[in-house]
Amino acid sequence: MMFLEFEKPAVLMSEKIKELKSIKDVSLEKEIQTLEEKFVRLRKKLTSKLNPVDVVSLSRHPLRPFSQDYIAGIFSRVEEIHGDRLNGDDKAIFAGFGELDGVSLAILAQKKGRTTTEKIALNFGMPMPEGFRKAARLANLAAKFGLPIVTFVDTPGAFPGIAAEERGQAEAIATMLNVLLNVSVPTLSIIVGEGGSGGALALSVTDRLLMQEFSIFSVISPEGCASILFREANKTNMARAASMLKLTAPDLLKLGVIDGIIDEPEGGAHWDKALGISIVKESVRSAFKELMEQPKEERLQKRQDKYLRIGFYE
């Protein structure tokens, strides 16, 4: 099993539990139950006092549920659309429709891969301009048909290569920001892993912006920040940068950048994916129930006021 250094005690206990279960001896049931209870407590203890750079590692955990997992576990009758009608189809952005409790809605998400082949095919979760234009196309369709929009954010950032710049990366992101800020339907964004730079921001200017407990949201990665400020992205400088950036959910809630934190299973969503997905599903239900009850004009005004307030210092 892939694990982070500070998770090692929990991994060892997990392996011990699996070993005892494989014996299939009834006399061991009580011992297994006791170990499982200790296992949950240990996971909680290991993540109870994490520093920001450890949270960065958890947000990038190789076993953490991806946007695709949440879409499959929360929505039914999912149908994906393809292409931006200008250049092509960006596989790093999911755009489509689905149902939750019989209600149709539009879904946007950044996609990551687990295997090397998947990662390359999805450009390591870094969207190109056509991905953001596809997202804007879906958002406009949602507005046309009166469908709420939910986005799942998990990206190190928009792709910064020459090809992306040549095709108008900055303009595509700016257009997406404008579309989400002014779209008439209720909007919700959930950061489920990395929320990096403009690539994350493009899908995050919504009525409600929620973060999972061990996700991050920042204008730049700790590595990039350390390289700029300290000239070297070593472990010490990365830890300094992560602390300075205020990229964790509690920090961002305190600053008023996000609207709420979604709890994760003890130790992180990768320890119990089904439970993690279930908690996010309930958060989606709750947020949209509240948003649907607000008059459109009031909701739009609150959305725009919210983002105009960010950055003011008193």
> Cα separation of 208 and 284, whole Å?
10
The pLDDT of residue 1: 53
The more confident residue out of 99 and 313 is 99
Q: Average pLDDT in the 58-71 region?
A: 94
In one letter, which amino acid is 252?
L
Cβ neighbours, 10 Å, residue 210: 24
Interstrand relation of 76-80 and 93-100 (parallel, antiparallel or unpaired): antiparallel
The pLDDT of residue 310: 83
* Mean of per-residue pLDDT scores for the chain: 92
| Cα end-to-end distance, the chain, whole Å | 47
Would the CA dihedral through 212, 218, 224, 230 be positive or negative? negative
Q: Average pLDDT in the 16-25 region?
A: 83
> Cα separation of 189 and 208, whole Å?
6
Q: Average pLDDT in the 256-285 region?
A: 94
Question: Phi first, then psi: what are they for 196, rounded to 5°?
Answer: -105, 120
Query: What percentage of the chain carries pLDDT values higher than 90?
Result: 71
Question: Which segment of 8-22, 114-128, 164-178, 266-280 scores lowest on mean pLDDT?
Answer: 8-22
Residue whose tokens read 């999912």: 78
Q: The whole model's pTM is what?
A: 0.91
The answer to whether 84 touches 133, Cβ cutoff 8 Å, is: yes
* Joined tokens for residue 296: 């459109």
